[in-house]
Amino acid sequence: MRAFTLVEILIVVIILGILAAIVVPQFASASNPAYQTVAKSVEEALRSGVAMYLKTTHRFPSSFDQWVSYGGTGSNQNFVFIGNSIRSQLADPNALVGTTSQTIVLQFKNGLTGTYHIDSNGNITATYTGP
């Protein structure tokens, strides 16, 4: 009966370690596109919210406070609701996301940060930083 030598076992362990070092980062970054998709969907929801606000009030919103709900139950006045489905993707689900009445900052679990800004004409600018 022939057994494996210590050298053969070490070679196999080294090869497995190299393969793991190659494969693990690929799986770790697989969630990045999902967070980017959520960030883009927030941007699209905000843009749609501007259109709904304009249609309802016949004027452009000058701040997010007029039509975005950051939690709780929202109301008939809120066209966009940043609720649990979005907050569960954030690094801190309880974080204050409406940093000013013109800016929303969402920091996702993977390090991606989406910053959404509205100007006085209802134009939304979105910037994304991180992975």
Mean pLDDT of successive 10-residue stretches along the chain, which has 131 residues: 78 84 67 77 83 83 73 58 76 72 82 85 84 71
Say if strands 68-69 and 80-81 run parallel, antiparallel, or are unpaired. parallel
Q: Which structure tokens are listed for 89?
A: 């993707």
pTM above the 0.75 mark? no
Q: Give φ, ψ of 79 to 5 degrees.
A: -90, -20
- The alpha carbon dihedral of 7, 11, 14, 16 has a sign of negative
Q: What is the pLDDT of residue 30?
A: 56
Per-residue pLDDT of 64-87, as tens digits, reads 776 777 665 544 556 777 777 777
CB 117 within 8 A of CB 108: no
Q: What is the pLDDT of residue 74?
A: 47
